[in-house]
Amino acid sequence: MAGEATGTAARKAALDLMGEVLDEHRLLAEVLAKRLAPLAPEERARAQRLATLSLRVIDRSDRMLGPHLKKRPPARVLNLLRLGVAEICEDGAAAHGVVHALVEIAGANRKTAGMAGLVNAVLRKISGETAKWHMLPLPRLPKWLRKPLVDDYGKAVVAAIEAVQAASPPLDLTPKGDANALAERLGGRVLPTGSVRLDGRGQVSALAGFAEGDWWVQDAAAAIPARVLAARPGERVLDLCAAPGGKTMQLAAAGAEVTALDISPTRMGRVRENLERTGLKAELVTADALEYEGGPYDAILLDAPCSATGTIRRHPDLPYAKDGGDFPGLFELQEHLIDRALGMLKPGGRLVYCTCSLLIDEGEEQIRDARARHPGLVVDRAALDRPGIDPGWIGADGGLRLRPDYWAEVGGMDGFYVACLRLSE
């Protein structure tokens, strides 16, 4: 349970972040650095957590606020109220501290100062109604996404996914060394696939072993593709679309000679920082994957740009920043990237294709189409025989379909599709 607020800086930053997502339809990842730069590290972590929490429960917050609002207030005031409801009802923060801080924020802005009294009155009423909170329906995915998912998986599965996405996710770490020792050190648990899961919240950089590079943050599902690739010492491996570098570090830790490629200099900077912190090595290339000339490689990991619909559990801003309009372009890009990657493989080499998407079009359909374009291409189902992978997660096409409702009892996982492809020698 959260304690009383010690200041308003983190809340104000969280409010700004909510505005970027809800009013400007931008992803949090695009604006975090700019909005959080003035804050101290602990305030940055708090601001990001509060913004993410508020976006996750926005549907419930609006249901709580509805009876207390005669008309919809200006966007910033509404977001102030949503932030307050999320803290009081979902986070369990002391109401008087939350109300005081948010009234102060409202009063300090000339555009919202006249509604500080409304913020005070409404949130004080909400604080007396917290028992209603958990009786409210769980938030549902937006129609533009829910409909295709229901078509692919059915209503029951989608409802189970929504239930997992409604809760704040745990923190998963990929250890550089022994997973059991790390779990014991941090008070976490080792998941069947080898990731370490922590249930507590806090500043990541303050956790034991961060500065020493003993681990890195990586959702358990996101860690599976590199395990499926199973890089061996000395192999030449290409990590396409590598940023922020979690998979690059896995491959480097396995002893492979890794080339990490990404089109974004900024994102590649994060890969460099992560490698330096963990003491791992890889060749870094900033280039367009469709134009890069390299290889041939023993193995390639292609984590293709995608809709990221499998990550809403950790990124609840996505349904508000996207509307599905960019999907056709992503599908086409994925096709071109698969073809380009296959052209850089040695005969008999292996390509692991993955997307953090729940859409069949970005997974199973891509593999079906790739096999039609490349008659000698086979799906290596045996590559999925890895610790912790449930055979029931493997489809008839030989690919691995991961869903947020898997491991729901311990916090779920991101949605992913993973397939290992091999070229005939």
Across the strands, what pairs with 297?
345
Buried b (16+ CB within 10 A) or exposed e, 30-45: ebbeebbeebeeebbb
Angle formed by the axes of helices 155-165 and 143-153, nearest 10°:
130
Whether cis (ω within 30° of 0) applies to the bond prior to 244 is yes
d(CA 150, CA 378): 29
Least Cα distance to 414 among 315, 276, 279, 321 occurs for 315
Q: How many CB atoms lie within 10 A of CB 372?
A: 9
d(CA 365, CA 359): 9
Q: 109: buried, middle or exposed (CB in 10 Å: 19+, 13-18, 0-12)?
A: middle
Place of tokens 């870094």: 284
Distance of CA 208 to the CA centre of its chain: 23
Residues designated catalytic = 356
Q: How many CB atoms lie within 10 A of CB 9?
A: 18
Least Cα distance to 46 among 81, 95, 98 occurs for 98
Is 228:383 a contact under the CB 8 Å cutoff? yes
d(CA 231, CA 284): 18
**Cα dist from 237 to 229, 282, 397, whole Å:** 10, 10, 25
